[in-house]
A = this chain, B = another copy of it.
Amino acid sequence: MSGNTFGKNFKVTTFGESHGAALGCVIDGCPSGLKITTEIIQKALNRRKPNAVIDGKVNPAVTMRKEDDCVEILSGVFNDTTEGTPIALLIRNTSQHSSDYENLKNTFRPGHADFTYQEKYGFRDYRGGGRSSGRETAARVAAGAIATEILKKSGIQITAYTIKAAGIEAKEIDFSQIEKNLLRCPDATAAEKMLEKINEIKSKGDSAGGIIECQIQGVPAGLGEPVFDKLDAQLAKAMLSIGAIKGIEFGEGFAAADLLGSENNDCMHEENGKIAFDSNHAGGILGGISNGQTIIFRVAVKPVPSIFIPQNTVCVQDGNVKSTELQIKGRHDVCLCPRIVPVVEAMAALVLADMII
């Protein structure tokens, strides 16, 4: 396996299995002189943690599993300042219950990577998915926190939020609402309905999917490398590298298929001596290069594969394959959207930091 590094200039290599000793990352290429503290990174990690209770309300969307996720900076920072040397970040695994997974030693969970890892490596860390677990994204969020500090200096702001969950759509986009509800939805009313629906799905032992939108503001024109390393191509790779994401679209996206050229083109005009666009159907990217407008994309999040309804699957012992029924135990999220929001932001930050350095 050798695909654990992301980026060319701001290079992040992650490591760690969900139930091993630790997970973390090494960032190679962070400029020297940036102010970085453990607190900055910890704050970002806390956003990824199961947001179990807000305002006294229990969040049905996420697991009650305790994930401490305390980060330690091992290198690359001296006197709270980056040295230009590799920054290594360590997050120890603490409260993982490996015993929950003993029954999965020979059984493949539907919708998970158990089968494909077994096929690829001939050997598998069956404890909670090992490397394929969503826990791996904690290292991405930690690295993303540093990338975000770089972007801040360039005036770039990334905001992701849930626009659909369990079939319920957000009707308005009010950034101020995002962190006020358990779904990270920019529409408070829709958020209420989403929670209701998720509670209902949870009670049946099932799970739900959703759609996350991301806006990147303040990106100067000119980012992105033709022809293969286009900005949208890099963002697409970054997002599809998140386990639960099954699709991405920029600007009008799939809807553009039904538009006429005259409807989809963004015309231009002069405004205060500068070029201005009449619309943003393109989502801020033309020919793979940012055009100075807000970058907008949406990603599809599949329903959590760990459900409590018994499922048909197979069990392999000593090379013998047998059909069996699996009853998943433990604590699992019902809808991943609110926890993937910070991961989407982190991955977008890695893409942009890589290009802006």
Contact = CB atoms under 8 A, between A and B. Distances in A.
Interface string A187-203: 00000000000000100
A246 interface: yes
A18 to B, nearest CB: 10
A119 B312 CA distance: 51
Nearest to A132: B287
B13 A286 contact: no
Interface of A: prevailing SS:
mixed
Contact of A240 (B72, B119, B233): B233
A254 B247 contact: yes
B246 A86 contact: no
A111 interface: yes
B22 A74 contact: yes
Contact of A15 (B88, B249, B303): B88
A106 interface: no
Interface string A1-38: 11111101101011111001111101011001100000
Contacts of A236: 233, 236-237, 239-240, 248
A156 interface: no
A145 to B, nearest CB: 17
Interface stretch (A50-58, A62-70, A171-179, A224-232): A224-232
Contacts of A330: none
A260 B1 contact: no
A40 interface: no
A5 B3 contact: no
A120 B222 contact: yes
**In the complex this chain forms, how many copies of it are found?**
4
B132 A226 contact: yes
Given A2-B11, A115-B291, A226-B85, A253 B246 contact: yes
A1 to B, nearest CB: 5
Contact of A136 (B111, B209, B227, B303): B227
A120 B85 contact: no
Interface stretch (A41-49, A147-155, A265-273): A265-273
Interface string A234-263: 111111110100111111111111111111
A161 interface: no
Nearest to A301: B257
A104 interface: no
A217 interface: no
Which of A121, A252, A254: most chain B CB closer than 10 A?
A254
A289 B117 contact: yes
A158 interface: no
Given A3-B228, A209-B256, A321 B270 contact: yes
23 contacts: A1-B225, A3-B227, A3-B229, A4-B28, A14-B227, A15-B86, A16-B75, A24-B74, A81-B123, A83-B121, A111-B264, A117-B287, A120-B222, A167-B258, A211-B254, A228-B238, A233-B236, A241-B288, A247-B248, A249-B300, A269-B323, A275-B314, A278-B312
Given A4-B228, A208-B260, 16 more contacts: A1-B29, A2-B28, A3-B28, A15-B74, A20-B75, A32-B122, A32-B123, A83-B130, A83-B131, A115-B275, A131-B227, A164-B258, A232-B246, A240-B248, A265-B307, A270-B314
